[in-house]
Chains A and B, each alone.
Chain A
Amino acid sequence: MMTRNFLNTICFIFLFLLAPGRFAFAQTVYVRGKVVDASDKQPVIGASVVLIDKDKRTVRGVSTDIEGNYSLPVSDKSLRLVVSYLGYETTQPITVGDRTTLNIQLKSSTKMMEEVVIRSNVKAETGTGMEIARRDMTSAISTINAKDIEDMQVASIDQALQGRLPGMDVAASSGDPGAPMQIRIRGTASINGAVDPLIVVDGMPYDLSIPSDFNFATSDENNYAQLLSIAPADIKDISVLKDAASQAVWGSRAANGVIVINTKRGAIGPPAISYNFKGSFSKQPGPVPMLNGDQYSSLILEEYYNAGRQFSSSEYAKEFQYDPNDPYNYFNYSNNTDWLNAITRTGLMNDHNFSIAGGGEKAKYRASAGYYNEVGTVRGTELSRITSRINLDYNVSNKIRFSSDISYTHSDNNSLYTSAVRNVAYNKMPNQSVYEYDIYGNPTGNYFSPIATAQGTYPGTYNPLAMAEAAGRRDIGERVIPKFALTYDILPKLLVLRSAFQADINNTKLKGFLPQIASGRPFIESSVNAADDLDGNWFTMNSNVSLGFTPNLNEKHNVISFLQFQSYDSKYTGQRLSVTNTASSYLSDPTIDGRTNFGGSAGSSFTQSRSLGLLFSTQYKYLDRYIINGLVRADGNSKFGPNHRYGVFPSVSGRWRVSGEPFMKALRKVDDLSFRASIGVVGNAPRYDYTFYNTYNNYGFSYLGTSGVYSSNMEISDLRWEKVTSTNMGIDLAMYKNKLRMTGEVYRRRTSDMFYPGLRIPGYNGYSGIDMNVGVMDNQGWEFQIDATPISKKKLRWDVNFNVSHNENLIREISRLYPRENNGKVTSNNVFKVFVQENNPFGSFYGFKYKGVYTDKNSTIALDKNGDPIIGLNGEQVYMRFAYPSINYTFQAGDAMYEDMNHDGNIDYKDIVYLGNGNPKLTGGFGSQVTYKGALRLGVYFTFRTGYDIINGTKVTTTNMSGYTNQSTAVLRRWRAEGDVTDMPRALYGTGYNWLGSDRYIEDGSFVRLKTVTASYDFSKSFSRRLGMKSLRMNVMAENLLTFTRYTGQDPEVPIKLTAFSTVQDYSTTPPIKKVTFGLTANF
């Protein structure tokens, strides 16, 4: 409805503008003539001849015929004639007056337009369309230009941003193609709500978030992500808005930061055609070395023996007996299979981008198309994508301009059926064969997927290769984003109206199939031939209208202000169908009836959310030195009930350019020295829709023929806006003709009225959780960035840059209903304790101190504080115990030894100490680039994170020696006999306390990574011209070549998902892969 109003407004504007021209004169006179080439006097065919009015608005136009003739009706003598044609200079406007014949000679244009080169952006981009010079910005914004990411070979630009901008932490969730990146700007503002930053493309929000009730069927949220599907070649610049003063423009969805992306547009000139190719090979870094089949089998026997169990009588003993008289088991279970190797391959990527750009005075265009394909390093993973984008700008007249953009993306992503495949491959028993042997020992070529093995059954374990290749998920996405924008200078250089409307049509299909051969289960179970299909359709409309006012006062005063109205309306419809036990492993579509498509196998959902924003912003500059900016924003959001639907959020920021002061004049070297300060509030809306209604839903089945209805949620009438108040202080320094630029920021983001979904309430209410505003949380830290160009000669240019930031996350105040510690008992293996304490950062974990292994019985004697043996009541020797009296286990030789903090001879919860924290102290990146003769460029870029601790989850699972899980080769040094001195406890099947949460698994995750090494060469003009090109560039890039770290796990770059009780655990998902890319860019 809002959009309809808005469209009506636009129609009105058109009517008013077009009306006068139409009705002014009734009498018509014609002007005729011939257009010829000025040099050879040959007719120019197809030249455009137009009549324009005083505002340069085209009134009428024709093309010349085959003889170069034209004829145009003239309604007004004041109209002027303009002739233009490609390759010729456009004529100056000629007033028609009383003339009826006008012959024109066109001069061929001598200067050919060069390719559009994007220079570093001097205007800061907040995405509002109001242009404020970068040097006048009052808030914290970081920008990266196309040049900097040009050489990066990435599928999605978020990958290119890794480590490039201070205050922005980007981490890969996995190295598989299509895996989402986790972006955090200045930490996480919400304890458990929406945490992803808002992305704004060409002034309009670009939704990457997944609607609250998006049903993942059997997939999980981490597996699914909307990629930022904009071809990196189309991007002009990217800015990150970090403080409230800049985010306020985007309102409620900006509370987690804003990333503003602008795409390239056409420029005046003949068509510039460009082709860009990238191709790469990629390889996974080596995994943690694991046991082979023999080592594994003997370990299992030892585990059983140590646990006092008899192995030979167990159901699965034959899998370890290597008995040649039982050929089926002998052949299938006497192997040395490297499961990880079996599911890994060399990755391949190729990316083609083609673009054409150009334009004249009236119209400018840029069109591009791209194809991207990546074959992942894990079998069964692949991403292919087609992108296309057209950006058109048209000047209707001096006063009216419009632009029409459309982008289309098709993506097809094949991913693993479950994200655990790699983990299962790590754990899989290595003596099992990949392919099945028959009872005579002949290989059958089929995947060996037994119903059960000693390790268990699906979903705990399975044949990883069968799971990777035969089962899978396919995610097919279509996204079309048309955008229309209009600018009208109501009063030139004083009052301007900008309006834009964008629709976003985003359709996704997720298909999953789990064939029998992958799970190995019998046909009566639902894990056999399970097919699901999910369609998710989003339709989003955004509009914004702004009125900019830039009064021209005098030299001393400068005012820029605008009033903006924004609307957002997003609908999501989802349909889901799933069946199991389809008749064949080739019937993978749920539209075919399966055996068990009863209750709950089909579903659909619909949600809609809307928001409105009205903001007024004014920036005032006095003497180019004192700048103050104020902004007030009113928000309305459909996710709140009538009581709390609207919120008003102000912000104010200022800048003092010290370098502009007279007393600084002496310091010639300083180009700019400014201090900035800002404070502002942004409101954040909850993730879920309709929570303020008490809603009744249907059960998926009927009871005795009547369908049942139940009250599905409580009415949440008290949910208020979550407020993020940011304070930011910044300093900018530019020296030596901008060759040295530094920016520093200190900030605090305070989240108050923090959302917490599902806060525990007494179960006797009939519901277990409720959404509430529960407390106050701070994110505070600092950032520093330095860019320098130490050498800037014609022949040689050297750039260096460095950025570093620090963020910490503190709970200041929290509801009583919020749990203070995580679930789980420290007396269970692999449990770390996490507490929520006011004024303490998140992510700290607690556990035991590991001291090694009891070498013999004597070493298990309990000692008191002075190191003397503790004597029992009856004067007997006391041995170390675990969790007396509840568990009361006496430690044996070969068991893990934990530090007895209170020297009471008993290891229990009283011996727990602080072990580490998962928050990085510093994150950032640095790099250097050398350009020789403007043609050869060499660059390196490093990223780093320091001072954070990782729980090495892979180490926990691969050294616990407590089950059938395959172990790493580190367990070969395990304790075996009395007197062995080692740090690896004995093998103990299904019992013991050898792998309690302790500092044994905590490792320093600090790393410095050589992220990229790039080299590029621009071929000389003469060379490329010989090839029929305007220019030609080649480049090579190597990624993730080296990582300097003390971390012993696979890779220290682990996504940090900080909720109150999360710890940073590394379970060795596909690590960032080593990759070499070759690229070629040709311009025609």
Chain B
Amino acid sequence: MKKIFINLCFLALLLSLSSCNKWLDLKPRDGIIKDEFWKTKEDVQAAVSGMYSSMLASPPGVGGRALTEYMFMWGEIRADMVDQGPGYLTEEKDIMDVNIVESNSIVKWDAFYRTINYCNTILDFAPGAKALDPTFSTKELNAYMAEALTIRSMMYFYLVRSFKDVPLKLTSTSKDTEIKNIGKARDSVVLAQIVTDLNTAEKWAVDDYGSNALNKGRITKFAVNALQADVYLWMEKYDDCINRCVKIIESERYTFLNPTAAWYTNVFYNGSSNETIFELNYKSANISNPFYDMLRGPKRRFITTGYVASEVFAPDEDDPARTFDVRSDFFGSSDLIIYKHAQEYPAFLNWQMYRLSDIYLMLAEAENYSGSPSLALTFVEDVREARNAVDATAATIGPVDADANSVGEYILAERSREFAFEGKRWYDILRFAKRDNYSSQYEGILRGMVLRAVAPSFQQAALNKYKDVNSHYFPIHQDELFADPTLTQNPFYSK
């Protein structure tokens, strides 16, 4: 009996050992592992949706600022339309004072590259899902790929405008062994990649998703065109820019809304209006955008500068009876609070990326610099009329004596009204300043901006810094330089 027993014991032990490996192989239950994902078109759709979601808020467990918060800060706080509010952070003040150092956490680009990685993941694995799911058509796959390509391009466009040369990562990261140091790519290389990708996306993208909210909140062919126009304008390829703008206008899908008091409510508060070409839809996600605490709450970090009330939206002294410019209705001229993105808590307002007015003003800018300032002027007037702009802000340029410089200045001013606090101001100023390799007189634009925006004690230093054009771009954050030694710092900051 004892023998039998001992044998049994060993048998049991052996059986257990052979099943050990299986027993130790545990899979998470609150997530899907990669090997089990990417099987159907629904998986791809969920990943695409996740890509959009990643722009609204950081994924659970990651923390940090939302991408839209960076879009606002990068586009606004170096420029002259926002100032520090009661709850401002030292790091933000440093950027406003052109006192930017590589340890400033606002120059962290992680949020952008996180979304880029989600795009890359879709681009890498969605074709595999098509191979497994027979109901997944090439057209559907291409539409998803177009969305990923466009969003990736949009992210790189933000990076290239903010940092100039940036690492160009076009494949996804899903495993620790895939991590390589890739260093920086020239801005021209990054822009060339954006152009190629957007051309592909333009071919594949959907015209119509069948609902208004979807057509605004996801990438359509026209959203691709809008981004293309923006990119070409940055690259000073005016014909291509004009071409894409015309495509959008000729589609006749977008119209200006009436300049009534309801204009702000329809375009911003309710969102998905006829004017909008692409927006990030917080409303449907039912999550608060990051702007209440930033702009509206008692510890708001940013307020408007006095310049916005006195000059951008100069009151019309001559004709007080006339209704005001509808665009001046989203900031407090006395308390200087910016209401545009947050009225109350929680704030579900969508983040506007491109509207029809942007297309008109980009078209105007492109026409202006390709030799047709008077034509450009008509597009500006179209926008002003649609917004009920007051005479006080009108330029005194006749169609005949229109020259590129004065019309350009006018366009820039009009953009500041149209896109106030929408994260575009700094990029607009930089685009005008750098035009024709900084040869134009618009270098003075930077000077005007500094005098308006920078605290007096820092103005002289700021002007000196801006003489080096590399200072127009952010430094790479020190953590990145540390993690990848092949990355070189923007030369302005490595002194």
Chain A interface residues (CB < 8 Å from chain B): 1-2, 5-6, 8-9, 12-13, 16, 452, 457, 490-491, 497, 524-525, 547, 565, 596, 598-600, 604-612, 614, 636-638, 642, 645, 689-690, 693-697, 699-712, 714-718, 760-768, 770, 772, 817, 819, 823, 825
Q: Establish whether residues B173 and A645, one from each chain, have CB atoms under 8 Å apart when the complex forms.
A: no
Q: Establish whether residues A715 and B34, one from each chain, have CB atoms under 8 Å apart when the complex forms.
A: yes
User: Within 8 Å CB of B287, what residues of A?
Assistant: 598-600, 700-701
Q: Establish whether residues B24 and A637, one from each chain, have CB atoms under 8 Å apart when the complex forms.
A: yes
Q: Establish whether residues A638 and B16, one from each chain, have CB atoms under 8 Å apart when the complex forms.
A: no
Q: A598-B346, A704-B217, A709-B50 are in contact. List 19 more A-B contacts (CB 8 A).
A: A5-B15, A8-B12, A9-B9, A16-B5, A600-B287, A604-B30, A608-B26, A611-B24, A612-B20, A690-B28, A697-B31, A701-B56, A704-B214, A718-B177, A763-B109, A763-B483, A764-B169, A766-B114, A768-B479
Q: Is the C-beta of B51 less than 8 angstroms from some C-beta in chain A?
A: yes
User: Within 8 Å CB of A689, what residues of B?
Assistant: 26, 28
Q: How far is the CB of B14 from chain A (nearest CB, A)?
A: 10
Q: Is the C-beta of B487 less than 8 angstroms from some C-beta in chain A?
A: yes
Nearest A residue to B281 via CB reads A704
Given B24, B54, B169, which contacts A610 in the complex, CB threshold below 8 Å? B24
Q: Establish whether residues A766 and B113, one from each chain, have CB atoms under 8 Å apart when the complex forms.
A: yes
Chain B residues numbered 107-156 whose CB sits less than 8 Å from any CB in chain A = 108-110, 113-114, 116-118, 120-121
The SS class assigned to the A binding surface is mixed
Bound form: Cα–Cα A315–B121 in Å: 52
Q: Establish whether residues A762 and B181, one from each chain, have CB atoms under 8 Å apart when the complex forms.
A: yes
Chain B interface residues (CB < 8 Å from chain A): 1-2, 4-6, 8-9, 12-13, 15-17, 19-21, 23-34, 37, 43, 45-54, 56-57, 59-61, 103, 108-110, 113-114, 116-118, 120-121, 166-167, 169, 172-177, 179, 181-182, 213-214, 217-218, 281, 284-287, 298-299, 344-346, 477, 479-480, 482-484, 487
- Known contacts A13-B5, A701-B287; is-contact A764 B167 (Cβ 8 Å): yes
User: Within 8 Å CB of B284, what residues of A?
Assistant: 702-705
- Known contacts A763-B110, A819-B482; is-contact A693 B28 (Cβ 8 Å): yes
9 contacts across the A-B interface (CB closer than 8 A): A636-B24, A638-B26, A701-B53, A708-B47, A708-B51, A708-B52, A717-B175, A761-B179, A764-B166
Q: Establish whether residues A703 and B6, one from each chain, have CB atoms under 8 Å apart when the complex forms.
A: no
User: Within 8 Å CB of B117, what residues of A?
Assistant: 711, 765-767
Given B46, B166, B175, which contacts A715 in the complex, CB threshold below 8 Å? B175
Q: Establish whether residues B16 and A5, one from each chain, have CB atoms under 8 Å apart when the complex forms.
A: yes
Nearest A residue to B99 via CB reads A886
Q: Establish whether residues A710 and B177, one from each chain, have CB atoms under 8 Å apart when the complex forms.
A: no
User: Within 8 Å CB of A772, what residues of B?
Assistant: 176
Nearest A residue to B109 via CB reads A763
User: Within 8 Å CB of B218, what residues of A?
Assistant: 704
- Known contacts A702-B49, A714-B176; is-contact A9 B12 (Cβ 8 Å): yes
Q: Establish whether residues A766 and B118, one from each chain, have CB atoms under 8 Å apart when the complex forms.
A: yes
- Known contacts A766-B114, A817-B483; is-contact A12 B346 (Cβ 8 Å): no
Nearest A residue to B168 via CB reads A764
Q: Establish whether residues A5 and B12, one from each chain, have CB atoms under 8 Å apart when the complex forms.
A: yes
Task: Choose among A525, A600, A612, A772 the residue with the greatest number of B CB atoms under 10 Å from its CB.
Answer: A612
User: Within 8 Å CB of A614, what residues of B?
Assistant: 17
Bound form: Cα–Cα A607–B29 in Å: 7
Q: Establish whether residues B176 and A715, one from each chain, have CB atoms under 8 Å apart when the complex forms.
A: yes
Q: Establish whether residues A709 and B345, one from each chain, have CB atoms under 8 Å apart when the complex forms.
A: no
Q: Establish whether residues B24 and A760, one from each chain, have CB atoms under 8 Å apart when the complex forms.
A: no
Bound form: Cα–Cα A174–B54 in Å: 40
- Known contacts A9-B8, A689-B26, A766-B114; is-contact A599 B286 (Cβ 8 Å): yes
Bound form: Cα–Cα A703–B51 in Å: 9
- Known contacts A497-B9, A710-B118; is-contact A699 B50 (Cβ 8 Å): yes
Q: Establish whether residues A714 and B174, one from each chain, have CB atoms under 8 Å apart when the complex forms.
A: yes
Q: How far is the CB of A202 from chain B (nearest CB, A)?
A: 24
- Known contacts A490-B5, A645-B21, A693-B34; is-contact A764 B27 (Cβ 8 Å): no
User: Within 8 Å CB of A767, what residues of B?
Assistant: 114, 117, 173
Q: How far is the CB of B400 from chain A (nearest CB, A)?
A: 48
Q: Establish whether residues B346 and A600, one from each chain, have CB atoms under 8 Å apart when the complex forms.
A: no
Bound form: Cα–Cα A690–B36 in Å: 14
User: Within 8 Å CB of A596, what residues of B?
Assistant: 346
Q: Establish whether residues A710 and B50, one from each chain, have CB atoms under 8 Å apart when the complex forms.
A: yes
Given A611, A697, A703, which contacts B285 in the complex, CB threshold below 8 Å? A703
User: Within 8 Å CB of B2, what residues of A?
Assistant: 490-491
Q: How far is the CB of B67 from chain A (nearest CB, A)?
A: 13
Bound form: Cα–Cα A636–B22 in Å: 11
Q: Establish whether residues A762 and B487, one from each chain, have CB atoms under 8 Å apart when the complex forms.
A: yes
Q: How far is the CB of B280 from chain A (nearest CB, A)?
A: 9
User: Within 8 Å CB of B482, what residues of A?
Assistant: 760, 817, 819
Q: Establish whether residues A696 and B32, one from each chain, have CB atoms under 8 Å apart when the complex forms.
A: yes
Q: Establish whether residues B24 and A706, one from each chain, have CB atoms under 8 Å apart when the complex forms.
A: no
Bound form: Cα–Cα A330–B13 in Å: 81
Nearest B residue to A607 via CB reads B28
Bound form: Cα–Cα A700–B12 in Å: 46
User: Within 8 Å CB of A605, what residues of B?
Assistant: 30
Q: How far is the CB of B125 from chain A (nearest CB, A)?
A: 10
Given B25, B53, B344, which contacts A708 in the complex, CB threshold below 8 Å? B53
User: Within 8 Å CB of B31, what residues of A?
Assistant: 690, 693, 695-697, 712
- Known contacts A1-B23, A5-B16, A766-B173; is-contact A708 B109 (Cβ 8 Å): no
Q: How far is the CB of B156 from chain A (nearest CB, A)?
A: 11
Q: Establish whether residues A704 and B213, one from each chain, have CB atoms under 8 Å apart when the complex forms.
A: yes
Q: How far is the CB of B489 from chain A (nearest CB, A)?
A: 14
Given A2, A608, A702, A762, which contacts B483 in the complex, CB threshold below 8 Å? A762
> Which 7 pairs, one residue from A and one from B, show the smallest C-beta to C-beta distance?
A766-B117, A708-B50, A708-B49, A708-B53, A695-B31, A694-B34, A763-B110
User: Within 8 Å CB of B50, what residues of A?
Assistant: 699, 703, 708-710
Bound form: Cα–Cα A547–B287 in Å: 60
User: Within 8 Å CB of B59, what residues of A?
Assistant: 697, 699, 710, 712
Nearest A residue to B45 via CB reads A706
Q: How far is the CB of B46 from chain A (nearest CB, A)?
A: 4
User: Within 8 Å CB of B28, what residues of A?
Assistant: 606-607, 689-690, 693, 695
Bound form: Cα–Cα A702–B53 in Å: 7
Q: Establish whether residues A524 and B24, one from each chain, have CB atoms under 8 Å apart when the complex forms.
A: no
Bound form: Cα–Cα A714–B33 in Å: 11
User: Within 8 Å CB of A761, what residues of B?
Assistant: 179, 483
User: Within 8 Å CB of A490, what residues of B?
Assistant: 2, 5-6
Q: Establish whether residues B45 and A645, one from each chain, have CB atoms under 8 Å apart when the complex forms.
A: no
Given B46, B120, B285, which contacts A709 in the complex, CB threshold below 8 Å? B46
- Known contacts A610-B26, A699-B53; is-contact A2 B16 (Cβ 8 Å): yes
Task: Choose among A604, A642, A715 the residue with the greatest number of B CB atoms under 10 Å from its CB.
Answer: A715
Q: Establish whether residues B60 and A760, one from each chain, have CB atoms under 8 Å apart when the complex forms.
A: no
Q: Establish whether residues A452 and B298, one from each chain, have CB atoms under 8 Å apart when the complex forms.
A: yes
User: Within 8 Å CB of A12, what residues of B?
Assistant: 5, 8, 12
User: Within 8 Å CB of B113, what residues of A?
Assistant: 763-766
Q: Establish whether residues B27 and A1, one from each chain, have CB atoms under 8 Å apart when the complex forms.
A: no
- Known contacts A708-B51, A765-B117; is-contact A638 B24 (Cβ 8 Å): yes
Q: How far is the CB of B152 from chain A (nearest CB, A)?
A: 11
Task: Choose among A599, A762, A768 the residue with the greatest number of B CB atoms under 10 Å from its CB.
Answer: A762
Q: How far is the CB of A161 from chain B (nearest CB, A)?
A: 34
Nearest A residue to B485 via CB reads A816
Q: How far is the CB of A263 from chain B (nearest CB, A)?
A: 29
User: Within 8 Å CB of B9, what residues of A?
Assistant: 9, 497, 547
Bound form: Cα–Cα A760–B487 in Å: 15
User: Within 8 Å CB of A606, what residues of B?
Assistant: 28-30
Bound form: Cα–Cα A817–B173 in Å: 18
Nearest A residue to B159 via CB reads A764
Q: How far is the CB of B89 from chain A (nearest CB, A)?
A: 13
Nearest B residue to A600 via CB reads B60
Q: Establish whether residues B46 and A612, one from each chain, have CB atoms under 8 Å apart when the complex forms.
A: no
Nearest B residue to A765 via CB reads B173
Q: How far is the CB of A576 from chain B (nearest CB, A)?
A: 12
Q: How far is the CB of A575 from chain B (nearest CB, A)?
A: 12
Bound form: Cα–Cα A695–B19 in Å: 25
